Structure 1
């Protein structure tokens, strides 16, 4: 058994698809005890935050746990919003406010300087304290206006390299095939397999 340390339905769907058939029944923590608090993501990197989340669940429930932390890193902004991507506008999870604030901040920035990348750190934590982290990236450029109805977060303004549409215009399976999350969890998969075999 292995648990994804997240209550985010979008994330659970993506990670389930990525880890099939290795983890045929991946559950999130929605069914876990209510007294498991949301971890305070006060790490300085995506990796620190991912480890924090995975360790909390592995130690609390006594089973292997996986977690990730991810965000958008804009080159001309020195990698911001980075670990603050989900709360860039001040309130956690307000995707629309985050997106519009970022567009306003980049208002005078021209195409060749609008490069960015999505970064994901995926962590596996075992009840014995063992931790493994892998990272993945998806490079691209930022559009001037949102386009597309799919995805979430900054997807409507992110155009992956090699594509002429945003990630919000890609079908879920197309996005998942090239995503930063896929790359991170595919790199983590051999470690997950060893953990499952050892149980």
Structure 2
């Protein structure tokens, strides 16, 4: 069978709806370890309830890294998510249901970006290790430590609420976030817009 990426979301509230995305990743040349951005459009069949932001619909995407809703003149909702492919999210040929660990360290681009007030940072670890995720301003001053401790191999994510370690709201601007392990370091940029 072809490799597939299947993602199912639920918020614990059952209104009779669910969303499952299945993508045959081998058709597009994706490999384990690649980062793929998924875009899902939910159409409003009667073209009425999308005339305003609907919090009940947004409740169905609590784990999506970012949600952007259509403007009031459109009849659809958009949801975006970046997924780091690994055998945990894709099924290997001839090995249905078998999972293994990511093959390399990787720090994904935060999402949403730009953001206000929160953003999510995802990363993958090929082995259990000590991990530190920190945020710095453009002058290199540490703003916040989002995680500092041991973690198992696999896919992980942290959320930054745009606040410093002392709880103050960070000003608008460019920030760097860094993944540090004993074997690997990677830095990416993000933009906070208040």
TM bucket, shorter chain: under 0.3
Of structures 1 and 2, the one with the larger relative CO (CA 8 A, separation 6+) is 1
Whichever of the two has the greater Rg, that structure is: 2
Higher share in strand: 2
Superposition TM-score, scaled by structure 2 size? 0.27
Higher share in helix: 1
Superposition TM-score, scaled by structure 1 size? 0.27
